[in-house]
Amino acid sequence: MSNKKRTIQRIVITVHPKMSGVNDQAQQVRNFLQTLGVAVEICKTDNCDLPAKLAAGEVDLLIALGGDGTMLRAGHLTSPYGIPVLGINMGRFGFLMQLGRDDWQEYLPRLVNGDFEIENRMMLKAEHWRKEALLASFQVMNEVVVCRGQVVRPIRVRAEVDGYTLASFVADGLIASTPTGSTAYAMAVGGPIMPPELRNILIVPVAPHLSMDRAVILPAGACVNFYPASDHQAVMSIDGHAPVSLKNEDRVSIMASENQVKFVVFQDPGYFYRNLSHYMEQNPSIGGLK
84 and 144 assigned to the same domain: no
Q: Is the pLDDT of residue 128 over 90?
A: yes
Q: Taking 60 as the threshold, does the pLDDT of residue 285 lie above it?
A: no
246 three-class SS: strand
State residue 139's pLDDT score.
Answer: 97
Q: What is the pLDDT of residue 102?
A: 87
- Among 17, 231, 251, 262, smallest CA distance to 146 is for 251
Share of the chain above pLDDT 90, in %: 76
- Indicate whether 3 belongs to any domain: no
Q: CA 176 to CA 161: how far, in whole Å? A: 12
Residue 39 has pLDDT above 90, yes or no: yes
Between 47 and 120, name the one with better pLDDT.
Answer: 120
Tell me the residue range of the domain where 225 lies. 123-258
H/E/C letters for each residue in 8-46?
A: CCEEEEEECCCCCCHHHHHHHHHHHHHHCCCEEEEEECC
Tell me: pLDDT of 4 over 60: no
Specify if 112 maps to a domain: yes
**pLDDT of residue 184 exceeding 50:** yes
Query: Does position 290 have pLDDT exceeding 50, yes or no?
Result: no
85 by DSSP, 3-state: which?
strand
Residue 94's pLDDT is 74
Pick 47 or 98 by higher pLDDT: 98
Q: Which of 11-20, 137-146, 271-280 has the lowest mean pLDDT?
A: 271-280
Is the per-residue pLDDT at 146 higher than 80? yes
Which residue, among 243, 253, 166, 258, has the nearest Cα to 205 in the 3D structure? 166
Regarding whether 15 and 88 lie in a shared domain, the answer is yes
Total of domains in the chain: 2
With cut-offs at 50, 70 and 90, classify the pLDDT of residue 282.
low
| Cβ neighbours of 88 (radius 10 Å) | 26
Looking at residue 289, its pLDDT comes to: 42
Backbone φ and ψ for 219, nearest 5 degrees, come out as -70, 160
Q: What is the pLDDT of residue 267?
A: 78
27/152 same-domain check: no
pTM: predicted TM-score of the whole model, two decimal places: 0.91
Q: Specify whether 46 is catalytic.
A: no
Q: What residues are paired with 129 via a beta bridge?
A: 134, 251
Mean pLDDT of the chain: 91
Write down the pLDDT at residue 151.
92
pLDDT of 2 > 70? The answer is no
Same domain, 204 and 79: no
Residue 204 inside a domain? The answer is yes
Question: pLDDT category, 11, cuts 50, 70, 90?
Answer: very high
Q: Write down the catalytic residue from 68, 172, 239, 250.
A: 68
| Domain assignment of residue 197, yes or no | yes
- Give the C-alpha separation, 61 to 40, whole Å: 10
d(CA 269, CA 118): 11
CATH number of 41's domain: 3.40.50.10330
Are 93 and 163 in a shared domain? no
DSSP E strand boundaries for the chain: 10-15, 39-44, 61-66, 85-89, 117-130, 133-140, 143-148, 155-161, 164-171, 173-177, 200-206, 216-219, 224-229, 234-238, 244-246, 251-265
Say what the pLDDT of residue 176 is. Answer: 98
Of the pLDDT bands very low, low, confident and very high (cuts 50, 70, 90), residue 279 is low
How many Å apart are CA 128 and CA 49, to the nearest integer? 28
Residue 226 lies in a domain: yes
Measured at the CA of 69, the angle between CA 68 and CA 70, to 5 degrees, comes to 90
pLDDT of 87 above 60: yes
The CATH number of the domain where 177 resides is what? 2.60.200.30
pLDDT at residue 92 greater than cutoff 80:
no
The more confidently predicted of residues 276 and 182 is 182
The helix, strand and coil proportions of the chain, stated in percent and rounded to the nearest 5, come to 20, 40, 40
Q: What average pLDDT does this structure show over 28-35?
A: 96
d(CA 5, CA 149): 48
How many separate helices (H) and strands (E) can be counted in the chain? 6, 16
Same domain, 14 and 77: yes
Distance between alpha carbon 135 and the CA centroid of its chain, in Å? 22
- Are 14 and 103 part of one and the same domain? yes
Residues 142 and 234 both lie in one domain: yes
Q: Supply the pLDDT for residue 3.
A: 55
**60 and 164 belong to one structural domain:** no
Q: How far apart are CA 91 and CA 96, in angstroms?
A: 11
Is the domain of 91 the same as that of 202? no
- 187 and 92, same structural domain? no
The reply to whether 135 falls in a domain is yes
* Residue 4 covered by a domain: no
pLDDT at 5 over 70: no
Does 111 map to a domain?
A: yes
Whether residues 210 and 165 fall in one domain = yes
| Residue of 268 and 202 predicted with greater confidence | 202
- Taking residues 49-54, what's their average pLDDT? 92
- In percent, the amount of the chain with pLDDT more than 70 equals 92
